[in-house]
Structure formats: C-alpha cells, structure tokens
Amino acid sequence: MNVVSVNDFVLKFDGDTPILKGGRCKDCGNYTFPFLSGCAKCAGTNMESVTLGKKGTLWGWTVQGFPPKSPPYMGDSDPDTFQPFGVGYIELPELIIEARLTESEPAKLSEGMAMHLVAEPLFKDDEGNTVMTYAFAPL
Ligand SMILES: [Zn+2]
C-alpha cells in the first residue's frame, strides 16, 4: 500500500513530511495558493513555484457537517458514514489559505490559535493507495 498525494501540484512529500506548494510573483512578491501562472496583484506572468510555511494561525473556520456536493467530493460522501471536518483560513507567513482542519469540534478551535501543516487520508484509490490531502492541526 502506497501513500500518494491527492494533487502533486499543491501537496508533495519529503519522506513522510508534507510540503505545501504555492507560487510567488518575482516582480511584486505577491504569493498565490495554489500556484498560478499569472499574478492577480500586478497582472505579471513572472511566477515561481515556492514552498509555503508549515506553521500559521487560525484566522476563521467553520465545520463541514455534510458531504460537499460540488465539485465532486473525493472523500466519504455517504451521508450515513460521513465524518464532519473543520474548514478554516490559515494565516501563513506568506498569505492566508483555505484548508481542511483535523479538528471538527468548535469548542477546540479559537481565532489566532497556532496550527501546523499535516497530511491526512482522504480516500483509497482503485489501486489501494491511500490518497492524502493537506490539512492543518492545532499545535
Ligand atoms: Zn505580481
């Protein structure tokens, strides 16, 4: 059984360590997540791929209490077995990104709390690989 990224474009692994990939405009310094071929701030196209910080703070959040409908959700979409998960905005050193949270209990989340990047299983593919996605966990 292998562990693979849900999307090599945004999540890579250095051994077991997850690495979040984004973009940076070489002209104005604006960061993007995911990587974009153009800059939304200066409209330039001089973008480079960068590794984003692994630690940040929780800026805001909610709890996804039912299977997301669209775009097609790759996790468990069976309403009888679906497990709610947190979704939040994480303020990284470079920019604020939206991410899945490992914690879904609202009482255990608070604005400004320290969070760190982890990878967690999302589903098993047809070859039996465990497909991982990025998430943030309380430190
Ligand atoms: Zn720019």
Tens-digit pLDDT profile for residues 82-120: 999 999 999 999 999 999 999 999 999 999 999 999 999
pTM recorded for the entire structure? 0.91
- What distance in angstroms lies between residue 125's CA and the mean position of ligand 1's atoms? 38
Instruction: Quote the number of domains for the chain.
Output: 1
Domain residue limits at 98: 3-138
| Centroid of ligand 1 to alpha carbon of 133 (angstroms) | 28
Residues 132, 6 contacting (CB under 8 angstroms): yes
| Residue 51 CA to ligand 1 centre (angstroms) | 17
Q: How far is the CA of 44 from the centre of ligand 1 (A)?
A: 5
The identity of residue 70, as a single letter, is S
At a CB cut-off of 8 Å and minimum separation 6, what does 131 contact?
Answer: 4, 5, 6, 74, 121, 122, 123, 124, 125
Question: What CA–CA distance (Å, rounded) separates 91 from 114?
Answer: 10
Q: How confident is the model at residue 1 (pLDDT cuts 50, 70, 90)?
A: low
What is the average per-residue pLDDT within 22-42?
96
**Distance between Cα 63 and ligand 1 center (Å):** 33
- Report the C-alpha gap between 40 and 79 in whole angstroms: 38
User: Using only C-alpha atoms, what is the Rg of the chain?
Assistant: 16
